[in-house]
Chain A
Amino acid sequence: MKSRIDGSFIFTLFLGLFVLVCLIFARDFPDSLQIATNLAGYTTLALICVLLAGAFYPEILHWTETALQDLWGASGQDKGAVDAVAEEAPPWPAVLKSIGYAVGFLLFSFLFGFFVVPPIFLATYLIAEAKVRPLWAILAGVIATAILDTGMMMVYVEVWAGIIPEIFEGYIGGAIMPPL
């Protein structure tokens, strides 16, 4: 039997907790600023409860969805569901690898800056994932970074040099972290 507590349920639960925490914190706001929070928050929370209950009692979700569809939707038929998931989702290991690349690129860029990390990232990705020859991958990475960094400097944008202690002035390290 398929488990009712799947990824969708956990994610919806997370959204519900997020809204709940927002509503709790909203009690400290001035009255006027609570209106939008409460209006959006309680409505959303109620609908999230319907989604969660739908995991165990599908008829609740089906009834709500059908009632809303009858009023404003596509009358139960899929008449161009905007942005709905149209294709099968890729497997989690591949997704986590993609997220890993993005997060890794972000963290290394934060540490070492936009002069050093993009060519290494581009070359690594192209060699490992796109199976491009190393020489072409390295060339592509260096050229693309050179164009971007030169472009930024031409329009007087300070290229992020990384948060590590300064190694080459203005190029690697020594960037001033903005207030967080």
Chain B
Amino acid sequence: MFESMALAASRLAEPGALAMLLLGVVVGTTFGALPGLGSIVALSIALPFTYGMEPMLAMFLFAGIMSSVTFGGSVPAILLNTPGTPPNAATCFDGYPLAQRGEGARAVAVSATSCFVGSVCGTVVTLALLPVIKPIVFAFGPPEFFWLVVFGLVMIAFASRANMVKGLVGGGIGVMLSLVGYSDMYDSFRYTMGSNYLWDGIPLVPFVVGLFAVSELINYSARGGATVTADKAADINWRGQVLVGVMDVLSRPMQWIRASAIGAGIGIIPGLGGAVAAFMSYFVGMKHTTEPDLYGKGSVEGIIASETANDAKEGGALLPTVAFGLPGSPDMAILLGAFILHGLQPGPLMLRDHMDIIYALLFGIVMSQIATSGLGLLATPLLARLSVLPSRWIAPFVLVLVFVGTYMVRTNIFDVFMAVAAGIFGYLLRRYGFPLITIVIGYILGPLAERSYLQSMQISDGSLMIFVTEPIALILMLGTVATILVPIVTAWRRKGEVLT
């Protein structure tokens, strides 16, 4: 084990490896920052270029891309309310209000630091769990998966907070929209209206990018002005904010440890993506925040929760990918392709024969995260000035980026139509006070809940007992039920005390 570690570490010090890491960082940050693109597109494009390359160097390139996409995506999410990738949507809720208050540099610095700690924690979790990964992954079958997703859906109620009825309506609409498409389990089409385009459902990237980015652009350009007014901008100390942002994260260890645990934990479970990790962590953070008045209105803890989980997820997702060939997230599926392209067979044999490659990936992720966060912090005072530029200078460029980015994912022009339609819909939702966050949760988690429920029922031959007889499922169910019931009981007791 230590030989493999030493080999990977020594290779990492070579100029060629560092060059690959930096190239990956540049590609990943750029693709992350362009709305619509993300790690899947970046990895897919990089994959053929690595053909013929030495496997370890290719892994450094992939590590650079994977670790930097999240930070890249958080920058437009914070400064323009336009998430670079779907998982960065959760960062908008607190990042953008901070930028509006003239604290954009602080928010970007919080994101850069959170990405770093998340990445390190995710890697530590991976290293610690490598020897015992098998029982953990196999313990999660459809019933456990179902309760985990139901827990996420329950969070819709908490996410709605001061706008409960509209928030719950939004969650329901999100679930309804997610059901569009072909169901392979029952060979049946739902709401496709004879369209081939809708066979795969409403595509995630155009939907989320449209809902957040296009709707914000409509709002942004119609309103005019800038994220931060010029008179306020004159008093801002951008460089000073960077240090404040770093300290914001370092002084809240509980927040990032919790977010890292959630991110890495969700990453390990195959099938759940980065968006689920970011939103779950965001809502758990909401329940335990030390600044409830600010959460959702410019709380650094909100950014820490989403961005740390986003990066910690990468380490967790790597575990089932290398140990069993089960991709923990969609970008890990591309990485799986990369392993096979380079003659590496993921699974027990990889753990036995190619531990150096696994360590190279893990060390590469940490090293490139150091580069990403370091360069990000250096560039933060400059990046944050974007929030001072007049919105009508920025809006057309961002719209062009959204169009091109959305088109590039599948080179399907109708994805751009979908993004614009989602954008107009999103604008109306915003205007009339329906929280976008609950729609996205319903849209992402709805089909996962349905699928795991139906799979469980097929396994148990129609018996609902499967949801309570497995120990982990039972624990998750009790946790979910407690999450629903504890506030009700507390409210009753509170009312009883008031009456007496």
Contacts and interface: CB of A to CB of B under 8 A. Distances in A.
Interface of A: 7-8, 11-12, 15, 18-19, 22, 25-26, 29-30, 32-33, 35-37, 40-41, 43-44, 47-48, 50-51, 61, 64-65, 68-74, 77-87, 89-91, 94-95, 97-99, 101-103, 105-106, 109-110, 114, 118, 121-122, 125-126, 129-130, 132, 144-145, 148, 152, 155-158, 160, 175, 177-180
Contacts of A79: 161-162, 292-293, 295
Contacts of B424: 99, 102
Contacts of A89: 219, 431
B168 A22 contact: no
Nearest to A119: B400
Interface residues of B, number: 88
Interface in B62-110: 93, 97
Contacts of A69: 162, 164
B159 interface: yes
**Nearest 3 A-B pairs (CB), nearest first?**
A44-B172, A81-B162, A82-B296
Contact of A30 (B186, B399, B400, B408): B186
Contact of B437 (A29, A82, A109): A82
Nearest to A93: B222
A152 B408 contact: yes
Nearest to B490: A71
18 contacts: A33-B188, A33-B190, A35-B453, A36-B446, A40-B446, A44-B172, A44-B176, A51-B166, A68-B165, A71-B157, A80-B294, A81-B435, A82-B160, A82-B286, A85-B432, A102-B214, A102-B218, A102-B420
Contact of A122 (B171, B396, B457, B487): B396
Nearest to A154: B45
B407 interface: yes
B449 interface: yes
Contacts of A78: 162
A37 B93 CA distance: 29
Contact of B161 (A73, A145, A148): A73
Contacts of B51: none
Contact of A130 (B296, B390, B403): B390
B416 A109 contact: yes
A73 B160 contact: yes
A36 B450 contact: yes
B223 A90 contact: yes
Interface string B272-309: 00000000000000100000111111010000000000
Contacts, number: 246
B9 to A, nearest CB: 32
Given A48-B169, A82-B93, A155-B45, A68 B408 contact: no
A148 B35 CA distance: 13
B469 interface: no
Interface string B157-183: 111111111101101110110010001
Interface string B409-440: 00111101100100110011011110111000
Interface of B: 45, 93, 97, 157-166, 168-169, 171-173, 175-176, 179, 183, 185-186, 188, 190-191, 195-197, 214, 217-219, 221-224, 286, 292-297, 299, 390, 392-393, 395-397, 399-401, 403-404, 407-408, 411-414, 416-417, 420, 423-424, 427-428, 430-433, 435-437, 442, 446, 449-450, 453-454, 457, 487-488, 491, 495
Given A72-B158, A73-B161, A109-B416, 9 more contacts: A8-B432, A15-B173, A36-B450, A65-B165, A72-B157, A84-B433, A94-B222, A109-B413, A144-B397
A43 B197 CA distance: 29
Say whether chain A's binding surface is mostly helix, strand, loop, or mixed. helix
Contacts of B219: 89-90, 95, 98
B296 A81 contact: yes
A13 to B, nearest CB: 11
B435 A83 contact: yes
A94 B223 contact: yes
Nearest to B193: A25
Contact of A178 (B169, B197, B432): B197
A99 B200 CA distance: 27
Contact of A83 (B93, B179, B223): B93
Contacts of A110: 413, 416-417
A179 B179 CA distance: 21
B169 A15 contact: yes
A82 B447 CA distance: 24
Contact of B176 (A19, A101, A130, A144): A19
A164 B480 CA distance: 55
